[in-house]
Amino acid sequence: MAGAGWADGCDSRIPADVLDDPHPAPRGRAGRARAVAAAVAGSKSSAWIIVVALAGHGVFDAVHGQLIENAGVPAWWPAWCLAYDVGAAAGLAWLLQHGLVANHVRP
């Protein structure tokens, strides 16, 4: 599967078997670089950065079709990604607010 190794449930690469394309073009390198940067920053400073990045990705998913042409993306994909990312952000925010996830950097 070409989409293995996704950072979250909504990477901009759809698995090749979904698209019937054995060689999907690499897309979204800048977006993946931002996701990695947010994950590193969040792990080194505050998990709230990860919450904001997840929610921001969900909002991006809502307008993705107007900004980037992704031929072959199923019509349901952007809405599913929006729901997944915003749900994950809300869940992590709840865990942080209730002290169930550490929000500090270990030395």
Contact 12, 34 (CB under 8 A): no
Domain residue spans in the chain? 29-97
pTM of the complete model? 0.67
One digit per residue, the tens of pLDDT, for the chain of length 107 reads 333 333 445 555 445 444 444 444 455 677 778 888 888 888 888 889 989 999 998 888 888 777 777 778 888 888 899 999 999 999 999 999 999 988 876 65
Q: How far apart are CA 69 and CA 24, in angstroms?
A: 14
Helix (H, G, I), strand (E, B) or coil at 18: helix
Tokens in use for 4? 């293995």
DSSP output for 46-103: -THHHHHHHHHHHHHHHHHHHH---TT--TTHHHHHHHHHHHHHHHHHHHHHTTSS--
